[in-house]
Each structure stands twice: as structure tokens, then as C-alpha cells.
Structure 1
């Protein structure tokens, strides 16, 4: 084994004594490498990457700061741009781009060098000319396109490039590039490449937040405003609002006809996805506010009369010129409203997604709590929503899809009116379904798309099902229209086609000796060592396509059993099961080069997650679970995935297993016999809260109506000390203390509050009706004077920026609170199911012994205890009463119900506790019907006389309950609005009166 010798031209480059000689050598290298992958391999092994890194490092701008301080930054940029040094740097950038075009095998040596940090430093310099910005952005996009090809197992989780490009040091360069005007073709291309880069790299929450806080989102909003101006959609009268706070001060210049809107829409969408606060930040950005000012009802001057006392009033015939409606809506067609139906508030299996703060049994953990997650008021919809719908109607291709994706995100975040559902049904759903057609083709498509890997049509097709999934996720009306449009049939056929053999896109490299050169990787530096060959672009496209189809199938079937049966009738269940199989860890090396795209080849992590979601939706159907899913063998792949190395896969697989563990499921015995319980118990103690909740939820189902020995094994595996620790925590106090710490850190005085979409202050724990005028720090900065737009204006003003940061912190706090509550709730439910069914009395004694009788009852009493907290930072009302979450009240009271249903000694233990029943009496008139019903059931079980031997015990307990005021509490429930509670109350009152009668 010998190390590769450096080619002559590379030696010439290294020995160059002048910059002009370097330029000649670099040009020759560029011409030799373009289109010749075999030569690229030889040159990389010979050390071209370190040589190029040295050229770029020597040309790194170091004089810009000094030049700028002398007021000569512009002249310095011009001289830098026209010098031979500039030409050498440019040629080196082009060569690196050519190497990256060779595929994933060349990315490893590029990342091992300092080339990317050096290029980002050049791009971030204030005097970076566009002649450098354009090739650097093209290079970064080329690398971003090929990173997913490196590893099928990790794709698309490689964030190395994103961490560098979207770091705080380099985000300013993206803002500067996006904020420039469409003055030349070069600047237009740079803007589109920067937006495309954001759309490809921005997947992490921290990056999305940074892009919003650093002004990139506002700069993108101005670009959208430019398209609005170019298309003539600026609202009438917008010129009258240019000098108002928050506006640009001038109408943005129109975007040129050749400018592309799709990359801008994609970048905005990926930034605001899954965050209402970032979406509101976008809608309140200067660009959007300028072209789409808020519409206020206006009256004609003749309708406004002046009274003799000086005040004004409206004439009797006064009507507003417009009712606050949207002028853009007049450009949209009217849609029929006859079929609009309101979704039922309660269903056997509630919807997917994140549409509200109410509890859903379809989730194994509560959805994030947010006061602002309810749909926006009717008058709060921004005009960008109907504008996007107009774009969907008039445009085609990727622009249409990106507009559909953005309007769907706004709709899911509650920033579009609910009456848009019929329009989505008749306008948007058919367009998305049309994109699922096998013969769908973008017009005038020539070869591959801009990434050089797959066609533009393939890009569109792999994203369309995911947009459809997000649109119909929580709405039965939209699901109905999609199913009636044959969406299930088309998606099922497409999923089958994703298992067709993938054509070979390239052949192995040919070498004169018949084999590749014998090189010793250990003797080579990392920047001279080629990476893995990676996967073909078409295979990765197929995997993304499969993932998107699975998401759409899962989103269409959560409510209707007939839809789930239709999926089975289309013969797609075996393909869903095949999609649950990961890529074998012991796959041969040549399988990467020539995959057969069979079930044995496995699937990457994102496809596994989507398949788990589809399997979970299908397992909601009893008939499907007992027939098609058993025949297809759904359990075994899930049992494998629950031990997968990826944490998200474990969570998704456990969520699907929750439905398999239900009492009516024929696979419950398979879970027990497959020894899955120890794994679930191990995951229940994971540091990841979602995995803990999912595992506890599954264990709750497993122990229901199972033999006592299985229940005891679960308690032993979890550990009595761990169970005691969970049930004794107080998430309410923890949340409040966390909020006070945030308030102290921010020194803002409103850390436990938030600003709603109307700009009003809302306190989560203690809502305020009047917050007065904002402080100086929260006031809007002065608007920019007309025609004086500069880069600084894209930095959010102090008020908007602090609001964005505050909302992000509050989302984390409320999510942590809900996670803590859910863990405790599921633990109590698990203990409740352990003492249910046959052998319940034995299990009550077992829990009293293992957990401690006093400790368990004290934990239950503490859940019911009213609590207050001292707020030292508040001058008024320093003591705050905190409400116990309904989930905890229901679970804790249900636990008491089942203990009270035990033996007389178990009831005596409950009665002898000092605070348990006294605290319970506070909730007989609770607003939640389940809490009230549980309180009545506790009374019934405590005084129900099972045999004559317990008659005196029942009388004693009834007398004690009367002393606690339970009789009066029951009297107040006799006219309860809930029929079940009324009937149960009659039973309890009858039992009490019978026992207390003389």
C-alpha cells in the first residue's frame, strides 16, 4: 500500500512563486477536473484539498476592517475584486464546487479541511463582492444537496453545514444578501440561492429562532412584499400607512419578472413552521405590514355628524365603506358552504397534530399548552392568506406548491379564518391531489432541477403528499374531500410504486488496472481521504417520496374506520409493514452502490417515523387490527424498532405499540410473550420526556386485566422508589418557580405573561385586564424615512425582538409543565390499572407494601391539596392561588375510587387519613365533569355495603362523610347538567340516607 503521488499540475500549484502563476495552475486544474470524477479522486488523494484551503486562507479578507475605518471600504472592495488575488480565490472556489459536484464521496475531505469556514468568513465580510458571493452560495447549495446522499441511516440529520452557515457569526451575511435589492441578475441569483440554502438547512429549532431574531425573516418578508407590489396586490390605501410604526416608510420596489418566488416562500415556511410566535413575527414584519396594512372599517365624512355639544356621532344611515374585510378576497371565487360541518368535539380517536390545548387521547403526551393556539379571531387574518390563495390559482409548479405549504402552515397555526375550510376543500385539495397523478409533469421541464440530481417534477411530487397531510390533519371535512377525490387510492398506488426497482444512475468507476488504486487510508490525512460513496439521488428521492406518502395516509384516516378499511382494501398494508423495517446494520458495502429497493434493503429514519405514524392510525380500528394487521405481521417490526438506536424511532414505535396493548387487541399477549415489558419499563425511566410518557402509556394498557404476576413484574421493573419519586412531584409549583426565575433573569416584569396576536398582554397564571402603556424598551423604534431602506432596518426593533424571545421561553416553560403533568398522570393511571380487575385487593395490599401505605396516600392527598405560592416580586397580591391541573385531579381521584372499591380495611385506611377526603370535598363542584363524577364515585364506593358484616363500617364512614360536608356537596349536584352525574348522585344520596337513618 502506497500513498498516491501528487499530479504534476498540483505540484506546480504548490511551487508557484507568484499569484499569477497560481491563477494559471488553478485554471488548468479547473478545466481538467470538471466532469471527470476519476481525476477528482486522484487529485483528492494527491492533496488538492489542502492546497485549495491554503489558497483560500491566504486570500481571506483581513484589510476590510481597517479600510472601513478609513472610509475606503468600497474602494477596497473594488480593488480586491479586480486583483489577481481575487481571481485566484475565485478559481479555487470553482474547483471546490466542481469537486462537490462529484457526489458525497468528496464531501468528507472538504469537511475535514478549513475550506467551508474560510468561505463563510469571506462571505460574511462587509466588502465581499458579488463575484465571490455567487460562487460561494452555489457551492454551499451543492454541498447541502449532496449531504443527504452520504448516509441513508442518518439522513437528513447531518447538521454540520447548517451549524456553520446558520451560526450567529454568519447569519448576518444571509441577511445582507437577502436584504439587497433585485438590481442586477447577479444580485437576484444571490438572493434566490441564499433563500434556497435556508430552505435546505434550516431544520433545527435553534436555527429557526436565530433566523427570526437576527432579521433574516424580516428581510425575506420584504422580498415577498416586492412580489406583492409587482403583481399589483398592494391593498388600497396602503400609502396612507407608510409612516406608521412598524412600516417600511416606502413601498418596496417591485420584483423583476424573472425573479423566483418559490425559494422565498420555502425559506419563510421552514422558519415559521411549528411556531405561532415566529409566524406572528413574520406577519408583523415591516414588509408585510407595508403592503398589507390592517383594514379598519371606515365611514364617509358625510356620515359623521357633529352634535351641538361638540362630540361626533354617526348618522342613522351610516354604514362602513368596508367591514374590515379583505379586498383580496374579492379576487377569489365563491365556494359552496352547504357541506360545511363542524367537527365533533368528542370522538373515539381525536385528531392528530397541534390544533389546540385540549387533551387528546390519540396522543401519548399532551399537546403543548398555549393560550394563543386557539384559532385567531375573524378580524385578525392577514391579507397574505387570500394573496397566497390567488398565487395557488394563478401560478404553477413549485411556486404553487410552496404557496400551498405556507398557507397550510398559517392555517394550522390558527392564523387563517376557519371559514377558509370550504375554500381549501374546493380549491387547494384538488390541486394537491392532481400533483399525485402518475402522469403529472411540470411544463417546460428540461432535464434535472437546479441541484443537478433529480428533476423538478420529482422534487414537487415528493413534497406534495406532505403538504396534503399537513392540510387535512385535523379536519374531517378536508379529509372527506380528499378521500372523495380518490386521494387514498392514488396514495396507495404510489406507495406500492416506491418499491419498484430503482434504475442504476451510474456505473462503478473504471480503472486501467481493473480495480481502484491501492491506497492506505490510515496513512492519508483526513482531507485527502475520500468518504463513503453514498446513495444514488434517485434512491433518496424514493425514500423521501415514500415518507411523504406515509404521512398523507396517516393524516387521512384518524377518524373514519371506513377510510382505514379502504387503505386495507387497496392492498397497501404489507407495504406499510415493509416500511417499518430499518436498513440492516450488517449490510454489505456494495449494497450502498447498487440498492435493489426491496423490503430487505430497509428504510432510513424519517421513513421509519412516517411508517410508525401510519401503523398507529391503522391500529385504531378493531377490525383492521384483528385482520389485515395481524396477517401482515405488524407487531414484529415494531418490537424491533422499540430498541432502535434512534430515540425518535423508539418514541414513534412505542406510540404504535400503545394501540397494540389495548385490552381488545389480539396482540397484547404477543407483547407480553415477546419480553417487551422490560424494555418499556427501561424507557419509562428515560431522560427523554416523550419516551417516558409513551412507555408509561403502553404499560398502562399492558397491565389492564392481566394476571397479578405480570403487574408485579412491572412495579418491580420500574422500581418502587422511582414510582414514589414521580407521584410526589409537584409540577404546578415547579412551573411557577421556573417562571419566576425566568422573570428575574429577563428583568422584564412579565415573564409569566405573553402578548397575544392583538398585541395585548396576557398573564398565564394571573390574567391582567389593564397593563397600561409599554415601557420605553418595548416601544416601536422610529420608522425609516422614505426611500432610506438600509440593512439595519431588517433587525427587529426592541419590542418585536423581546416579544419573540419571551414567547419562545414561555413555549418551553409551558411544554415542560405539560410534560411533567403527563408523566405524573400516566403513572397514576398505571397504578389505577394495576388495582383493577381480578385480584385487585391483592394488588392494593401489594402497592401499600411496596410504595408505603402512608407515602401513597400522602401523595394522593397532596395532589388534591389547594396550594398557594409567594410572589415576592409583586407588590400587589403577593400570594397566588394555583389550580391543580384537571389531568392530575382526574387520575388521582380515579386512584382513590379503586382503593375505595377494595376491602373494608382499605376503605378504613382512606377514612383515617387526615387530609385526603377533606381535600377531595373541594372538587364536588369542579368545572370538569370527570372530576365531579369521580368525587361522587368515591362516596359510593366508600359506603357501598357488599355484605352484612361491613354494615357498621359503612355507617361509620357515612357519618364521617356527613361531618365533612359531603351531604351538602351531593345536594348541589342533584341538578347537575350532566345526566350521568345526576344519576350517580341519586345513588350516593340514597346510600347515605339509608345508612344515616335512625
Structure 2
């Protein structure tokens, strides 16, 4: 039998050498093949597979590595670029995908089980010396395969096979999705919307669809019909887990989820309605409401009526009652504090800006009615929404009386889940073990930064329970593994070096029981850290429970020279060390405890907290370096007995090296630690820090105009939003896209990227789960803005810490010598110019606005406070230093703009500068002081002081009296 002649287009493709002609031929070939199985069979028989393979091989930049063949490279280089060669590769991949698309449905379930099995065991190899392995996630969530995940999740539950596939795909997301790029990709590709529809099916099945939702099915953004109810055998927990891991730490992804068609359909926005008799018509045809009009729907959520009432909150705790202010950067590193004074009331109507989606009370209902992992995942999701500010402000009392006790109950020793009630996705540990290892972390996220929630948890004996559980994680774990039996004795012993890589066994990894213990320990440490940041009595309670030595033991990493063959034996003692995630959690707990003066001077120094932290700042993992440095910040405080140990242990060079790191977070924490080290230290230590940081680098940091840079970037983004200029951002797949004006419309998008040849039988097609253009633009834009905003805030924080460092260098004993040292090393004019430029008012041109040519810019309060503090100490120096300040053409003139600043610290600093400048050293300085007072009066500072005489802040008011007295005395 002769082979069929190759179709002409295939012959042309095989003979073509031009990339542009190949693109045209491949597009035509793709259009011929998609949806035509017989043509596919014909082309396969004619040799299309070798032709595609040859084309792809010839277009690759070099020989494929093992990592690239597993999909890793997909996330490190743009997948689609505007070149003919890249386009040819893309079209070839789409054709190959279409040829392979019609795999039997029976293959999907075992493939998903296989991927889940691999995912279950990946953490077993990433706990110690093996780095975090994201290759499987890179492959599964790549642009090539993420559409298949969306298709599987979006399919109807239908048969038991479909249900199992949906749940396994959701479980795979919950296990693998840890990187920001993967979370963004899942949101942009429509997987998050598909998961939202699955959540909606449970809402329908449970009868929680809001009254009147059927009347809004044709509204924009709705599904058009209520989804079919989820079968009783379907599991909600993996769906909720997948949603949670995607939206965590991103308000924009969370809002994208809440605005998805599935959620909008079952939980439509509640709009107040009025009777027709209440609507009046004016003489000119306009309508208005009568004075007696009462809305039929007051805006109260119907689901709330199913929840119990809770006691009102009588006064909320002040977030500033800590022993001393938190040492983290309040603007960029701490969560917003949810300290709301509003009492809980079911009848209270939220304001439009505080509108809450009905999914929040629905999740609270799930908490009350369900059990096991479903209850925990509902708690985790509602906690994430709360942390992102997407729940009502007055939910806090309900969380206190409903959610906190549920989470504390999960910490009990006798808490058990029947194995058949909620089976685990991996089967490596029991459902009860899985729930217990995650519950403390959910509690930690819930109570973080909220003193009322912390108080309810502590009153529920949380500290004692968690302390006891942490101790138990160091109890010996019984070994249940048995060594494999070999007929040859010790087994087929061969020299591994003589075997090829494909024939060698990989490292055995750790036992599932040990990994459970390590995750449990990590979760407990997070909860302890979240409960004690504000109250010294809570920190003391932790010490009284005898848990500090165990926290210190948790700071110790696993030995890097541990034999691989012994890794499968459960070893969880202090000598065995801890994996990286546990170390990070222990650093957080140690940092919270070091906020207490008494704890720092007693329990922590007795337990030896400094030494393991000194080791960790040199850890190869960057996140560990950041966490350890953050904890060392508190150890370097002047009252700390360990400050001298930091100086004598040669830690300063390491901190200086980290301060110049390319990682901004490490920069901030290192500069923060250094500013504590230099405070009241001998001048040789201060000079050592300046020299190690390099005067040139310091000059560069303090001279940067972060305000104008921030404003220019902000105005560019505003122009992008208002005028539709192409933004040219790179999305999560590596594509260069125009966010606001994508070149392709929805039809083109479906043509190029629709891999499937058939749609599901349901009226809700697969295309419905690809976010519409408007929502996708908003998601990508906000995600990019979120990242750029955080980056700019971090840059400002670096500059703030540098000015704080300079302030501490020139205060206290030896300050005069240090000012002269800075003038000499950094440059007198350069230093003063940097201070003046950061105080200088400025504006930005608005070329795209007709009504105004410029806009004034506001200097961040953190910069104003830090810069003015440096000026205070310069003004407190000898007469020659004050003359230098007075002689600068702009410094004091710029300062006059901030005497009436809204921040009391900025106002206070301005007054202190005047006091220090006008302070008379001795009788020989009276003429000089009179001259300085005349200069200040000429700048208008006397009038600024008069405006502060009745300042609402008592400290500012009293210091102003002193400044006015000095001014009048000098001018008399």
C-alpha cells in the first residue's frame, strides 16, 4: 500500500525557509485542521508531525535543557513575541495541541491523579537542602496548558468522573500555586472565574441564592442562567482552597473573583427599591422621591438574617498601646489595622464604599453548618477577604464570637475528623492531621493587627494551647516505615556514579509524618507571633508557658551535610533542625517577643536568641536573611543587652553588605538594624558603618528624588487609564500586551488561542470562563499598579531609613565630630542640598489636562519626618554648624511649608529646629543669635509659630511657647 501523497500546503511548508511565509502557511493549516478529525488523520499520515517537529527544533535558540523540556523556561522568557520566528513557533504549537486535543476522556482522570501524586511529594524534597521545586507548577500553569485546567474546572459536574476531575484539578491548584506569577496567570486565563461558577453551584444546591436573583440573570456580567446545583457527592473544600490560594495577598484578584459571572449571578448587588407611589414627577419631566418614601430593600443582606446576633463591641483597643512602637515599616510592611469602633448590628446599612459581597455571610453560614476541611477552608477564605478589606467593618465582633472559637476548637487534642467524612487529597496523612496543621495559620491571619480579635483568642486560652502544641512538635515521632526487603541481602547495590541519570533513584525525601510535624510547627509559630505584637502581658505569658527555648530551637536549620538515605526517617528533635518555612515563622515569633524590654533582658537572653540569628543572616535563602535581619533590628536597640554582641561579632559588615543588596526588602531591614546599631555607639563604630556603606552610595540614596519619580510614574499610569495609550506591559504568560487597547478583539483571541474543537453541552460555554476584555484589562492594570506602587513605597522606605541612620549617627556624645566626618566624607554641600531637595515643594506638569498646567506634589510624611530630624541635630551643634544651615539658600525656606503640616511629628520637628537654631550657647553668641532670629523672621517663621500657639497637640503647643520666647528674646 503506497503512502498517500502529501497535501500541497504541507509540501510548501516543508520546502519553505522564510519565517514569514511559514507563518502564513501555518495559519492556513491551523484553520483547515481545527474541528476536522478526518483532515487531522490525513495530515498525520502525510507526515505533519515530523514537519512540525523539525520546524520547532530549527527555531529554538539552542539545544533544549532538561529544565526547558519540563516547562521551566516558559516562565523565564516571553512565550509570544512580535517576531516571525516566534509567531511560527506559536502557530506550530497550536496545531500540535489541536492534533493532541482529542485524548479520550478516560485519560484525564488518571493524568490528574498522577499530577496530584507528584505534587503531594514535591514538598517532601524541598524542606531542606533541596531548593523549592516549581517545575511542575511552571509546566501546569504555563500558557500552553493553563487552558486545559480551565476546561476541566469549567465542565459540568455531571458524572462521577467529571466530578473527580474537577476536584483533582482544584486540588492541584491548591497544592502547586505558590508563586505570584502563577496566581496572576490563573486569574487572567479564566480559571478563577471557572472556580467561581463552581462555588455558585454549591450556593444554588444549598438554597442560598439571594431573593430576586432570577430577575437579574440578563444583567451585564451575569451567567444568563442559574448554574445547575452541585451534586451531594461534590466536595466544596478543594474549590474553596483553590480560590483562596489564588486571591491571597491581592485585593485586585479578590475583587476579580467577587465580580465574576458565577458570583454575580447568585449574589447580585442589592439595590434599594421604592414603590411607584413614592416616585413623583416634576414639572419638567424629572423624577424625585416623595418625602415619605421608604425603600423596600434597606440594603441589609438577607443571608445575614440566618446568622446569630452577637454582643456589641464596647470600645476597641488602641493600636498604639504597645510597649514601644512596632519596628516594622508601617506603610509598606505591616497589614492595615482593622480597629473599627462600629458595633455590630444586623440592621445597619453599609455605605456604598463599604459594600460587602453576600459571599461573606454565606461563608459564615458554612462555618456554622459544615465541619472538617470545608469549615476550615470557609474560615480561610473569609479571613482572606477580611484581611483585604472586602468584608464589613463591623464583622469583627462576629469573627470574635463565631470564628475564633471554631479555630481554637481545632487546636484541641481530642479534636478528630472521621476519615470517611472529608478524605484528604493526598492520603499521606489523616484528615485530622491536615486540618490541625493549617488551623493555626488561619488563626494567625485572622487576628493579625487587630487587638480585639487577639484578646478574644487569648481569653480563649490560645497562648497556652499553642505553647503546649509547639512543645509537642519536638516529641519523638514513632517510625512506621519498614526497610525494603531484597533477596540479594542489601539489594541491587551498584555504584551510582556508574549508572546513568535515568536509571538512578532520586533522593528519598522526608516521611509524610515528619513533613506534617514541620508544617504544624510552622503554623503554630505564626499564630504565636500574630497574637503578641501589641501587648507586653501576652509576650510575658508566652515566656511563662516555657515556650521560648522551643522558639529558639526552631531558628536552627537542618544540617546541610545530613545523609540523604537518612532523610526518610522522622527526625524532629532540636538537633535535627528545621526546614526553611519553619525558620521564617520562628524569626517572626522571635521578632515579636523582642519588642518587650523585660522579655528581651530575661527570657530571650537566657535562651540565647542572638547566636542563631547571627547564623541566619548568612543563610543562602534570601527570605531567611530578611527575616533574621528584621529580628536583629530589635536586638540592636540601645537598651538591649545583645547590642554589644552584634558589634563584637562582626555582624556590622554583613549588615552593610545586605544594605546594598539589590533586594529592597533586605535593604530596608538592614538599614533599620544599622540605625539602631549606631545610636549612642562609639564614633569608631559609626565611622565603620559609613565607610562600609560607602559615602558615594549614601550620597546616591539621599539625593534621589523619589517624590518626582513617584509622581511621574503615577501620571503616566493615569494617562494610560484616561487616554488609552498603549501601556506595553508584560502579562503572566510573558506576552507583551496593550492593557487598555489590545490589538486583538475577542474573536481574534478565540481564533488564535482556542485549543478545543468542541464546546461543553451546557448553555454556559467555555468562552464564558475567559474574562471579558473589560474585566481582564482591569485585573492586569490593577495588578501592575499594585506592584509598581509597592516598589515605589519600598524605595521611599529605603531613603527614610537612610536619613534615620544619618540622624542617629550625628546625635549623642561625639555628635560634633560625626557631623564634621559626614561633611568631609559625603560633602557638606551635597548633604545639605539633599536635605533641601527632599523638603522642596514641587509640582508636575500635566500636559494632557486643559484646566491646569501643573499639579503640586506632596512629600511623603515619612521623608519629611526623617529629613527634619536630621536638621534638628545639625541645628543642635556648635555655632559653625548653625551658620552652615543658615547660609544654605533653600533649606530653611523649604522648611517653612511644613509648620502647619497635618502630621504632629512634622510640626513638632519644625518647632524643634527653631529652638535649636535660637539657643544661645554663651554670651559671645548673642549677636549671632539675634542675626539668626532676624533671618528666621524674614522667612516668615515667626508668623508660622504664631499659628501653632493653639495647636491641638499639647507637645507642639508647649514647644511653640519655648520657640516664641526665644525668638522674642533674641529680637529684643
Q: Give your verdict on TM over 0.5.
A: yes
Q: Secondary structure at the match of 1:321?
A: coil
Cα distance in structure 1, aligned partners of 2:422 and 2:281: 70
Give the drift of 1:70. 6.8
Q: Secondary structure at the match of 2:844?
A: strand
Cα distance in structure 1, aligned partners of 2:113 and 2:948: 71
Q: CA separation of 1:189/1:448 partners in 2, compared to 1, >3 Å: closer, same or farther?
A: closer
Residue 348, structure 1, aligned to residue 322, structure 2: yes
| Aligned equivalent of 1:149, options 124, 149, 153 | 124
Q: Secondary structure at the match of 1:583?
A: coil
| Aligned equivalent of 1:883, options 843, 858, 861 | 858
| Aligned equivalent of 1:910, options 876, 881, 885 | 885
Once the two structures are overlaid, the 10-residue window that deviates more, 366-375 or 417-426, is 366-375
Q: Map residues 614-625 of structure 1 onto 2, 5 A cutoff.
A: 614-625=589-600
- Structure 2 residue aligned with 1:33: none
Q: Map residues 68-79 of structure 1 onto 2, 5 A cutoff.
A: 69=33, 71-73=35-37
Give the drift of 1:196. 0.5
Give the drift of 1:707. 1.0
Cα distance in structure 1, aligned partners of 2:608 and 2:646: 13
Contact 1:130/1:187 (CA < 8 Å) preserved in 2? no
Q: Which runs of 5+ in 1 are unaligned?
A: 1-61, 81-108, 351-359, 753-773
Q: Map residues 51-130 of structure 1 onto 2, 5 A cutoff.
A: 69=33, 71-73=35-37, 125-130=100-105
| Aligned equivalent of 1:658, options 610, 624, 633 | 633
| Aligned equivalent of 2:619, options 621, 634, 644 | 644
Residue 425, structure 1, aligned to residue 388, structure 2: no
| Aligned equivalent of 1:261, options 221, 236, 240 | 236
Residue 716, structure 1, aligned to residue 691, structure 2: yes
| Aligned equivalent of 1:192, options 167, 178, 196 | 167
Q: Deviations over 1:439-493 (max 9, x none)?
A: 1110354897331311111111110000000001111111111111111111111
Q: Secondary structure at the match of 1:627?
A: helix
- Structure 2 residue aligned with 1:758: none
Q: Map residues 243-262 of structure 1 onto 2, 5 A cutoff.
A: 243-262=218-237
Give the drift of 1:262. 0.5
Q: Deviations over 1:57-110 (max 9, x none)?
A: xxxxx9x99798474459989xx9xxxxxxxxxxxxxxxxxxxxxxxxxxxx99
Residue 454, structure 1, aligned to residue 442, structure 2: no
- Structure 2 residue aligned with 1:363: 328
Cα distance in structure 2, aligned partners of 1:218 and 1:447: 25
Q: Deviations over 1:776-811 (max 9, x none)?
A: 999999xx9997310111111111111111111111
- Structure 1 residue aligned with 2:918: 943
Cα distance in structure 2, aligned partners of 1:451 and 1:124: 32
Q: Deviations over 1:521-540 (max 9, x none)?
A: 34433222211111101001
Q: Deviations over 1:610-658 (max 9, x none)?
A: 0000001111111111111111111111111111110100100111111
- Structure 2 residue aligned with 1:39: none
| Aligned equivalent of 2:517, options 542, 546, 554 | 542
Q: Secondary structure at the match of 1:593?
A: coil
Give the drift of 1:737. 3.2
Q: CA separation of 1:436/1:989 partners in 2, compared to 1, >3 Å: closer, same or farther?
A: same
- Structure 2 residue aligned with 1:952: 927
Q: CA separation of 1:650/1:124 partners in 2, compared to 1, >3 Å: closer, same or farther?
A: farther
Q: Secondary structure at the match of 1:881?
A: strand
Give the drift of 1:849. 1.0
| Aligned equivalent of 2:376, options 390, 401, 405 | 401
Once the two structures are overlaid, the 10-residue window that deviates more, 447-456 or 469-478, is 447-456
| Aligned equivalent of 1:495, options 463, 470, 476 | 470
Q: CA separation of 1:708/1:561 partners in 2, compared to 1, >3 Å: closer, same or farther?
A: same
Q: CA separation of 1:110/1:439 partners in 2, compared to 1, >3 Å: closer, same or farther?
A: farther
| Aligned equivalent of 1:697, options 659, 672, 691 | 672
Q: Secondary structure at the match of 1:169?
A: coil
Q: Deviations over 1:323-352 (max 9, x none)?
A: 111000000011111x443232534369xx
Q: CA separation of 1:217/1:330 partners in 2, compared to 1, >3 Å: closer, same or farther?
A: same
Cα distance in structure 2, aligned partners of 1:891 and 1:393: 49
Once the two structures are overlaid, the 10-residue window that deviates more, 193-202 or 123-132, is 123-132
Contact 2:372/2:421 (CA < 8 Å) preserved in 1? no
Cα distance in structure 2, aligned partners of 1:76 and 1:706: 78
Residue 793, structure 1, aligned to residue 758, structure 2: no
Q: Deviations over 1:803-836 (max 9, x none)?
A: 1111111111211111111111101100100111
User: TM-score, normalised on structure 2?
Assistant: 0.85
Give the drift of 1:990. 0.7
| Aligned equivalent of 1:852, options 827, 830, 837 | 827
Q: Secondary structure at the match of 2:122?
A: helix
- Structure 2 residue aligned with 1:685: 660
- Structure 2 residue aligned with 1:530: 505
Q: CA separation of 1:511/1:748 partners in 2, compared to 1, >3 Å: closer, same or farther?
A: farther
Residue 966, structure 1, aligned to residue 951, structure 2: no
- Structure 1 residue aligned with 2:87: none
- Structure 1 residue aligned with 2:358: 383
Contact 1:370/1:811 (CA < 8 Å) preserved in 2? no
Q: Deviations over 1:650-687 (max 9, x none)?
A: 10011111111111111111111111111111111111
Cα distance in structure 2, aligned partners of 1:388 and 1:74: 49
Give the drift of 1:318. 3.1
Give the drift of 1:873. 4.3
Give the drift of 1:519. 2.5
Contact 1:703/1:830 (CA < 8 Å) preserved in 2? yes
Cα distance in structure 2, aligned partners of 1:447 and 1:930: 55
Cα distance in structure 2, aligned partners of 1:922 and 1:373: 33
- Structure 1 residue aligned with 2:21: none
| Aligned equivalent of 2:538, options 545, 563, 568 | 563
Q: Map residues 236-315 of structure 1 onto 2, 5 A cutoff.
A: 236-305=211-280, 311-315=286-290
Contact 2:71/2:135 (CA < 8 Å) preserved in 1? no
- Structure 2 residue aligned with 1:201: 176
| Aligned equivalent of 2:492, options 504, 517, 520 | 517
Give the drift of 1:412. 0.5
Give the drift of 1:229. 0.4
Q: CA separation of 1:447/1:481 partners in 2, compared to 1, >3 Å: closer, same or farther?
A: closer
Q: CA separation of 1:111/1:732 partners in 2, compared to 1, >3 Å: closer, same or farther?
A: closer
Once the two structures are overlaid, the 10-residue window that deviates more, 804-813 or 539-548, is 804-813
Cα distance in structure 2, aligned partners of 1:186 and 1:238: 31
- Structure 2 residue aligned with 1:476: 451
Cα distance in structure 2, aligned partners of 1:158 and 1:245: 42
Give the drift of 1:703. 0.8
Contact 1:149/1:155 (CA < 8 Å) preserved in 2? no
Give the drift of 1:971. 1.1
- Structure 2 residue aligned with 1:630: 605
Cα distance in structure 2, aligned partners of 1:963 and 1:454: 77
Contact 1:124/1:170 (CA < 8 Å) preserved in 2? no
Cα distance in structure 2, aligned partners of 1:748 and 1:124: 42
- Structure 2 residue aligned with 1:868: 843
Contact 1:298/1:320 (CA < 8 Å) preserved in 2? yes
Contact 1:743/1:750 (CA < 8 Å) preserved in 2? no
- Structure 1 residue aligned with 2:785: 810
Q: Deviations over 1:420-451 (max 9, x none)?
A: 11111111111100100111110354897331
Q: Which runs of 5+ in 2 are unaligned?
A: 1-25, 45-64, 75-92, 341-349, 728-739, 748-758
Cα distance in structure 1, aligned partners of 2:394 and 2:775: 29
Cα distance in structure 1, aligned partners of 2:875 and 2:152: 69
Contact 2:839/2:895 (CA < 8 Å) preserved in 1? yes
Contact 1:897/1:937 (CA < 8 Å) preserved in 2? yes
Once the two structures are overlaid, the 10-residue window that deviates more, 364-373 or 249-258, is 364-373
Contact 1:369/1:818 (CA < 8 Å) preserved in 2? no
Q: CA RMSD in A?
A: 3.2
Cα distance in structure 2, aligned partners of 1:123 and 1:340: 63
Contact 1:340/1:422 (CA < 8 Å) preserved in 2? no
Contact 1:535/1:593 (CA < 8 Å) preserved in 2? yes
Q: Secondary structure at the match of 2:486?
A: coil
- Structure 1 residue aligned with 2:871: 896
